Amino acid sequence: MRSNHAPATPAGESSIVAVVSNRLPFSAERRHGELTLTRSPGGLVAALDPVLKRLGGVWAGWPGVAQEDIEAAGGLAPPQEEGVCYRPVPLSAREVTQYYGGFANRTLWPLLHTFVGRARIDAATWRVYERVNERFAGAVAEEARRGALVWVHDYHLLLVPHALRRQVPDARLAFFLHVPFPAADVFRVLPWSRNLLRGMLASDLVGFQIPAYADQFLACAERLLGCEVDRPAGIVRFEGREVSVQAHPISVDVEAIEQLAGVAGRRARDNRVAEILGVDRLDYTKGLHERLLALERFLERYPAYHERVQFTQILVPSREHVADYRQLKREIDETVGRINGRFSEAGWTPIRYFVRSLPHEDLVPLYRQADVALVTPLRDGMNLVAKEYVVAQLENDGVVVLSEMAGAAEELQEALVVNPFDVDAVAEALHRALSMPEDERKARMSALRDRVRANDVHVWVDRFLEAAAGAARHAQASTASPTEAIIRRLAPWLAQRSTVVLFLDYDGTLTPLQARPQDARLGDATRQALEQALRTPQVDVVVVSGRSLADLKEMVGVPGLTLVGNHGFEIEGPGISYRHPGAERFLAALAAAARDLAALDAEGAWVEHKGITITYHLRAVSSGIREKAQRRAEKVFRKHKLRVLSGHDAVEGRPPVDWHKGHAALLVVGRRHGVQWPARVRALYVGDDATDEDAFRSLRGMGRSICVSPVTPAAGTAADFRLPDPDAVVQLIRWLASGAFAR
């Protein structure tokens, strides 16, 4: 039953929808040197296209063929329909292999389905996945700026919301995951699990098939990111925003299936061989081998059904180039052959086995004809075969044997629900389905059909879009200031100790970054906040910088603070004076590097020799030559066997010893509060660049850290939290200086 109403669109809110999915709703095939486009079948395409045409919008996705093939064929132009723009996202053959075949399908697919042993962990495919997700985000960034609701689909594009949020901070974003979402202990196996969670949480609404998957996502946000989670409300507070997490079970195109079923008709049930039907894509998640073993057990236990039952398995080919799938196909072939060889009699073979993809025009008649649908995946996000079968039973006369591991089992409660791993239970469910009295069959199926018909795919689309619009409004209305959001998170943790050691980077953290470092002077408000913190007994303030200690003293100008200069090689403060003992033997190399850098001819670059370290500043160098100037500076530092580190438009050379801001922070807190300091004080580090990441990592598990950046850095961060700018840092210092956390 199709919903004819448009999703509500409040005044002043754009009604444009931009859909982002791995594939466009077309399939490209190369025939005789030319590329042709054919419409992709499926209820999702049938449901989304009318919405896009009605509201106006864009559908961005990969056209299904490598960019090299498109160029060789002279290009590819997707059809442009009234109200809808189809925007191809180009992928090279290598990207198709590594992003799609690699990280998406050999890493995420098995992990999300809880097949941990099958997941391939590969940093190279991860990097390609990141890059491709950025490209998909770029394809709809302009629509997001125009106020479109951007709806991102599925596991191929988990990072797209975050990439879009960086480009368009006030974008309206929704994400829907079509596959399962695993428990935290499974998801954390992936080294980049936290990056993916942040990617999804950049949305206003994160949608899942069933409540169980949403609950597991909430648990991951809480356990892996430390987010504040309101489970009853389905809310995650992330980076000052409230993200809605909801279940929206997808469905099928009821009207289209019923029309096909009506044309097909159905043979009389009496005195004929009972039909059992399975329809699956070739995949290890579908439980095909276990299903065949259950059928074999059924034939063993109930010989009276020999010659009275026929099982038809439609197997849709998938990923035939992957060795694991070829092996799975061989196992299925062999099992079918063995069972047929064991039980076949003259004129009767128990299993009919077809390896092909069938259009709905051919598949729906099989649904209507079948007495039993055997739908037993080992894990499935939803499984629409079960719902399609239900809709096709116009006489309310079939029975569904359904895996409890499929999302559909949440809705289709009148099905015979089984554990697909329990071969005996599935065999018994088959017997029950085939021997079920007519009144029970009709009662169960009528209830199933009513529910699916009332919640078809068109209703699903409308409800999701309404929920997404509402979530976007809620996120905007409930957004707390970044500092308030972090204070709420830090307060319970800080309250467990009487003192906090507060480490603060200087440039970019206490002051905005300046083209000339000498211009990065403390503002009056920042100086007053530091002075107030210095007078608070519960706060021990340490300023950490890549500047020389002498320069840092002059720039800060607040007596009584502990100062850490030259990335930790120099430390001075109440009760502590330190100079790294390994730095002295590299002074000659540093001086020689400074001379060589001064001889470079990059206009706008300049050398800052800080005694123990050197910085080659590039901020005033024109963008056209900056990268080349950076490479030349790095070469100079390597020539003199110095450690090289690139930061904000600068290249630094330092003694090649294992020492950085993180080591210095641990030295300060240990000297000041003893080796057992984690049991006595809290350590909080606030910084903005790559050199501070060392401290973030060093304090992980013992302290907390905050990255100062307008958006989460593209390369990620080891920090626990993020603040957008130095003004937000000042607000945090004032709150700490008030001592409120210790009350």
Tell me the per-residue pLDDT of 718-741, one tens digit each, with 9 for 90 and over. 999 999 999 999 999 999 998 877
- Indicate if the pLDDT at residue 604 is higher than 80: yes
> Which of the four pLDDT bands, split at 50, 70 and 90, describes residue 361?
very high
Answer whether residue 3 shows pLDDT above 50: no
The 3-state DSSP class for residue 620 equals coil
Does residue 12 carry a pLDDT above 60?
no
pTM of the model: 0.80
Residues 6+ apart with CB under 8 A from 719: 687, 693, 696, 705, 706, 707
pLDDT of 272 higher than 90: no
How far CA 311 is from CA of 169, 197, 337, 343, 419, in Å, comes to: 54, 42, 13, 13, 20
Greatest mean pLDDT range, 477-486, 535-544, 713-722: 535-544
* Mean pLDDT for the stretch of residues 548-567: 92
Residue 148 and residue 58 in contact, taking contact as beta carbons nearer than 8 Å: yes
Q: Tell me the mean pLDDT in the region 381-396.
A: 96
Q: Which CATH number fits domain 482-580+659-742: 3.30.499.10, 3.40.190.10, 3.40.50.2300, 3.40.50.1000?
A: 3.40.50.1000
Higher pLDDT, 434 or 42: 434
Does the pLDDT value for residue 431 go beyond 60? Answer: yes
Q: Give Cβ neighbours of residue 1 (< 8 Å, ≥ 6 apart).
A: 254, 255, 453, 454, 456, 459
pLDDT computed for residue 382 by the predictor? 95
CA angle in degrees (0–180, nearest 5) for 613-617-618: 150
pLDDT one-digit tens code per residue, 100-151? 999 999 999 999 999 999 999 999 999 999 999 999 999 999 999 999 999 9
**Single-letter code of the amino acid located at 433:** A
Q: Looking at residues 594-609, what average pLDDT do you find?
A: 87
pLDDT averaged over every residue in the chain: 90
Mean pLDDT of 19-43: 79
pLDDT-derived band at 239, boundaries 50, 70, 90? confident
**Per the residue annotation, which of 49, 505, 551, 689 is the catalytic one?**
505
Active site residue 505: yes
- Better-scored residue on pLDDT, 592 or 6: 592
> Span 254-453: which CATH code?
3.40.50.2000
Cβ neighbours around 673 below 10 Å, total: 17
d(CA 618, CA 37): 49
Q: What number is the average pLDDT over the span 615-627?
A: 87
- DSSP annotation of 284: G
Q: Is residue 638 within 8 Å of residue 644, measured between CB atoms? A: yes
Q: Is the pLDDT of residue 683 over 80?
A: yes
Contact 710, 728 (CB under 8 A): no
- Residue 8 banded pLDDT, cuts 50, 70, 90: very low
CA dist 594 → 336, 350, 588, 599 (Å):
75, 83, 10, 9
Buried b (16+ CB within 10 A) or exposed e, 34-57: ebebeeebebbbbbbbebbeebbb
In this predicted structure, what is the pLDDT of residue 6?
45
Which residues lie across from 34 on neighbouring strands?
Answer: 31
Residue 177's pLDDT band, with cuts at 50, 70 and 90, is very high
The verdict on domain 18-247 having CATH code 3.40.50.2000 is yes
Annotated domain spans of the chain: 18-247, 254-453, 482-580+659-742
Q: Which of 674, 691, 462 lies closest to 567, judged by CA? A: 691
Nearest to 614 by CA among 581, 575, 583: 583
Write down the pLDDT at residue 95: 96
